[in-house]
Amino acid sequence: MERYICKAANTIRSKVVALVRRRGLSKSLLAAIVVIVVIIVAVAVLMMQRGGGAVREVKVGVVLPLSGKLAETGADLKRGLEFAVEEINKAGGIKSLGGAKIVLVFGDSAGKPETGAAEAERLITEEKVVAMLGSYQSAVTKTVSEVCERYPCPDAQPRVYITHPHR
């Protein structure tokens, strides 16, 4: 099964790299998108193994600061994720899952840890997401990850480190 996950991840990575080059997006956004997409594919494959049936969509929760002081940053991150998912779905979805489409379900942390935790719980229990991404702020990430530990829900917090060659 690892072979299928790696193959799907490499295919998606190459498509995202080509899109980023065409649209002139930053390398840090590219890295974040690639990490998120690889995680989505891995979760989807694991979900299919456990469920046994065909999967039509893979719901992934994302908690971001969509209001408050960091609303602009949250909106940028949301657009980047939506762009990546739109391109993947247009290209046929997750081929290893028979073309299953990725569906992002967003929650607004408003930059507050307790609000982020409440949103994570809502996404898991009401929206029935199979994995969680995002959070952006470390304090919100901590509370969201605690909620994910209480429920059997994978929580991925991609980090992008940019190195400067002259330092």
Structural domains in the chain, CATH included, are: 2-156 (3.40.50.2300)
Output the pTM of the full model.
0.69
More confident residue, 3 or 79: 79
d(CA 146, CA 135): 12
In order of 23, 34, 50, 124, 148, the CA distances from 6 in angstroms are: 25, 12, 19, 27, 25
What mean pLDDT is predicted for residues 64-81? 92
In order of 6, 124, 149, the CA distances from 154 in angstroms are: 18, 10, 8
| Residue 21 confidence (pLDDT) above 80 | no
Predicted local confidence at residue 135, as pLDDT: 84
Characterize the bridge pairing of strands 131-134 and 101-108.
unpaired
Token code pair at residue 77:
């991150």
d(CA 86, CA 140): 26
- Give Cα 50 to chain centroid, integer Å: 20
More confident residue, 152 or 46: 152
Compute, in degrees rounded to 10, the torsion defined by CA atoms 29, 31, 37, 38.
-170
Place of tokens 């046929």: 92
| Residue 27 confidence (pLDDT) above 70 | no
What mean pLDDT is predicted for residues 20-45? 62
Handedness of CA 69, 77, 3, 53 (dihedral sign): positive
